[in-house]
Chains A and B, each alone.
Chain A
Amino acid sequence: MRDSLSPLCLLPPSIDQGWRGLAPPATFYAIERPGMSPVQLPTPLFWFDPPWHLLTVETADALAASVANTGVTVSALSRDLAAPGGHSAFLNLASTDRESRILPYRPERYGLIADDFDHCSIIDLRLAISRDESGAHVFSQNQIQRWEATTDASPVAGGSWVPATTMPPDVISLDELGSKILQLRKLAPSAAVFVSVGPFRVANEIQRLLRPTDDLQRHPDGIIVRLDQAQLAPLQLAQQTRRIRKCLDSMERKAFPFWLVPGSISADDAARLVALGADAIAVDRWCDVLVQELAEPSEATASSFGYSSRGIVIAGDSAKQRLGSWVESVLAPNVSRFQGLCRSINPNAAERLGSYDPQWAGALGVPLLGI
């Protein structure tokens, strides 16, 4: 991955600072919830919107488990990973608290079943409208077919697309969303409830989501901002990240979890975004390449995992182990690099970042480096 935020430098301690021991690596990332126990995730990295429908359920399930094993929290419905009445190894791991799962609660709720509320760490109340591969605000036939388990002979909408929406139809307005959040808290008491929004009216939406109330449980536990939908230039991405954090700070929500879906980034960029104020970073581009390789396999991949008329079907312990090793070889270096860089960020330091580029330094309000 290219370092698009490379004009920004993570600043080391100044040379006059004494020798300080390094804090031990964090074993988990905690999300505080008002009046409730915190939710713990292995790392502040997550896979926001996996295109599970491109894979068979067996392969999707094995991939979800393998990615989660590297510390990345994975978003999935049970219908994404198992046929109705089927078994999911990933959901089984999540049920034993060995892996973390994000439950995508889309306004349309296609594919959502009651069991989805079990064993999830995060509920993502998704107000950011979905797009299919073509860019339209719709769900494709394959996507709906996976969620609703329809047969080829009787597809939904005659095999055409199904329109997507933004606000849940049983919520009157954004100002009334607190009632829905309380419902989700009851349905999954051990999960944190996040709201994901698009990038276009984010300041207004944050103001409305966090409007003062006597009952803080009506507020989400965190917000996910899909900056990837805007195709921002690198400097704009950095600026927006910093502005969103400042917006939360100005509302006296300095510790409010702000998760970011930035698009294509490197591990170094992910750490820079944390230094700019994001709390967790979506790494969809790191993981989507795995899906692409399994959906349209090269000869080497096909011969490694076995290919059938349904595509690659990861079945059996041996194939799952090979998949796990492959996924780890792809993701672990990035995850490790991200964690190492994050350990080097002093959260109490006044200056975490600097730039040699006057434009970047001026736009972001960070020190201009160099002589």
Chain B
Amino acid sequence: MTSKPPVDPRKSASPVQAGRSSQGASSASANPSSTSANPTAAKELEVIEYYLSMADLSEAELRESIAEIPPVPTDATWPQVHISGARGQHGALMRLDHSIVLHVDGDVGDYAFAFNSRCDVRLSGSAGHGVGEGMRSGSIRVRQNAGTGAGAAMVGGTLAIYGWAGPRCGAAMRGGGIFVKGDVGDETGVGAIGGMIVIGGDAGHHLGDAMNNVNVFIRGQAASLAAGVTEAPLRKREQLRLGLLLINASIRGDATEFRRIVPIAMLQAEEARRGEINPNWR
């Protein structure tokens, strides 16, 4: 990645590379180290970078600038968009649907990155309530903490929080995966009907309340499990899925350190499918 200083996007509209111009967004040259004798490899490694500021641009201007970033071929490296000036703005960068990597420097407020698709977001600070609400695909990596309802109603993709998350993390989620490196608050996974939640630390009360078809993996302790959920054996298949999520979240860890919490009904259905017999009959 190049280490160019941020450029005021309104002053620079002359891309270095032909065909990569974008009004409102500035582009810098590809990393010189990516050039290669092999032209195909060079094209794949080419990194286009853009610098935008939330302090200088309105929400609409910011969205417009991102929308103008030209798409790249599926086999090319995604454009890197560096966003500065994040100081707790609410509703930041919602409904983005672009194959880009967003590097957001600072903190964002409530409902940041809600209903996004495809974007790979990397936030250096903390997020408010409802980060990643309804996200469909892509990933969000929050380097610090997240407020209440992180990943609420998300449909797909990966939300990784490297600090702690507040209450009701993963509430009503319908798919995708959430990874929280630290602790989570009460009622994690409440009303979730699909997906996977991984908790690296401890959980609060009523873990898994009103939860269906969801696997929760926890490394620490839960203050209490909700009625209707139970601890279940960590099978090979879950180990593989968990390992994949850990890789997606760029986390080093052994899947076997985690315990699995699931709805009792789901566990019974699994056992029925496997034809298992409870050995306690004697």
| Interface positions of A (Cβ within 8 A of B) | 107-110, 112-114, 117, 144, 148, 156-158, 160, 162-163, 165, 168-172, 179-180, 182-183, 186-187
Contacts and interface: CB of A to CB of B under 8 A. Distances in A.
B210 A163 contact: yes
Contacts of A112: 134, 153
A183 B134 CA distance: 13
17 contacts: A107-B172, A108-B153, A112-B134, A114-B97, A114-B117, A114-B134, A114-B136, A144-B193, A156-B213, A160-B265, A163-B191, A169-B187, A170-B130, A170-B133, A170-B148, A171-B130, A186-B59
Closest 10 CB pairs of A and B: A170-B149, A169-B171, A170-B130, A109-B153, A157-B212, A114-B115, A169-B168, A170-B152, A183-B111, A163-B210
A117 B153 contact: no
B261 interface: no
B196 to A, nearest CB: 15
B174 to A, nearest CB: 6
A228 to B, nearest CB: 25
Interface string B128-165: 01100110100000000000111011010000000000
Contact of B95 (A114, A163, A170, A179): A114
A186 B130 CA distance: 15
Nearest to A186: B91
B114 A187 contact: yes
Residue picked from B94, B171, B172, most chain A C-beta under 10 Å: B172
A112 B90 CA distance: 21
A110 B174 contact: yes
Contacts of A160: 212, 265
Given A112-B153, A180-B111, 6 more contacts: A107-B172, A109-B134, A110-B193, A170-B150, A171-B130, A182-B91
Interface in B246-266: 265-266
Given A148-B174, A179-B90, A183-B110, A170 B129 contact: yes
Contacts of B213: 156-158
Given A112-B134, A187-B95, A171 B193 contact: no
A341 B28 CA distance: 66
Nearest to B174: A148
B197 interface: no
Residue picked from B59, B134, B187, most chain A C-beta under 10 Å: B134
Interface string B106-134: 00011100110100000000000110011
Nearest to A148: B174
A110 B269 CA distance: 23
A112 B115 CA distance: 10
Contacts of B193: 110, 144, 148, 156-157, 162
Given A182-B90, A182-B91, A186-B94, A169 B148 contact: yes
B265 A169 contact: no
B52 interface: no
For chain B, the bracket of interface size reads 35 or more
Contacts of A171: 129-130, 148-149
Interface string B63-96: 0000000000000000000000000001100110
Contacts of A169: 148-149, 152, 168, 171-172, 187, 190-191
A114 B194 CA distance: 18
B216 to A, nearest CB: 16
A148 B155 CA distance: 10
B111 A156 contact: no
Contact of B94 (A156, A162, A168, A183): A183
A322 B223 CA distance: 60
Contacts of B153: 108-110, 112
Contacts of A186: 59, 91, 94
Contacts of A180: 110-111, 130
A170 B171 contact: yes
Interface in B161-179: 168, 171-172, 174
A107 B133 CA distance: 12
Contact of A187 (B90, B115, B190): B115
A109 B130 CA distance: 13
Contacts of B91: 182-183, 186-187
Contacts of A182: 90-91
B212 A170 contact: no
A78 to B, nearest CB: 13
A158 B269 contact: yes
Nearest to A107: B172
Contact of B111 (A110, A113, A179): A179
B111 A170 contact: yes
Contacts of A107: 172
A170 B168 contact: yes
A170 B165 CA distance: 12
A117 B187 CA distance: 28
Nearest to B209: A163
A85 to B, nearest CB: 13
A171 B210 CA distance: 18
A165 B266 CA distance: 21
Contacts of B109: 179
